[in-house]
Amino acid sequence: MTPFEGVFSVLPTPFTPSGDVDFDSLKRVVDLFIADGVNGFTALGVTSEVARLTDPERDAVLDTIISQVNGRVPIVAGATAEGLRTCVGYTRHAKAAGAAAVMISPPRMPKINSGAVARHFAEVAVAVDIPIIVQDYPPISGYAMEASLLARIARDVPAARTIKLEDPPTPLKTARILKHATGLDVKVFGGLGGVFLLEELMSGAAGAMTGFAFPAILVQIVGLFRAGKTDEAADLFYRKVPLMRFEFQEGIGMAIRKEVLRRRGAIGHAGIRPPGGVLDQTTTTALDRVMKWTLD
Strands 187-190 and 101-104: unpaired
What pTM, to 2 d.p., does this model score? 0.95
Can you say whether residue 13 is alpha, beta or left, with left for phi > 0 and alpha for psi between -120 and 50 degrees? beta
SS (H, E, C) 172-197: HHHHHHHHHCCCCCCEEEECHHHCCH
Rounded percentage of the chain residues whose pLDDT exceeds 70 = 99
Average pLDDT, the chain: 96
pLDDT score for 277: 85
Tens digit of each residue's pLDDT (9 = 90 or more) over 12-53: 999 999 999 999 999 999 999 999 999 999 999 999 999 999
Rounded percentage of the chain residues whose pLDDT exceeds 90 = 91
pLDDT score for 18: 94
Dihedral sign, CA of 266, 268, 271, 272? negative
CB 276 within 8 A of CB 255: yes
Closest by Cα among 204, 124, 206, 115 to 160: 124
Tens digit of each residue's pLDDT (9 = 90 or more) over 239-295: 999 999 999 998 899 999 999 999 999 999 999 998 888 899 999 999 999 999 999
| Residue 1 pLDDT greater than 70, yes or no | no
Give the lowest-confidence range in 2-6, 193-197, 207-211, 229-233: 2-6
List, in order of start, the domains of the chain with CATH numbers: 6-230 (3.20.20.70)
| Residue 99, CA distances (Å) to 12, 58, 144, 221 in order | 17, 13, 27, 26
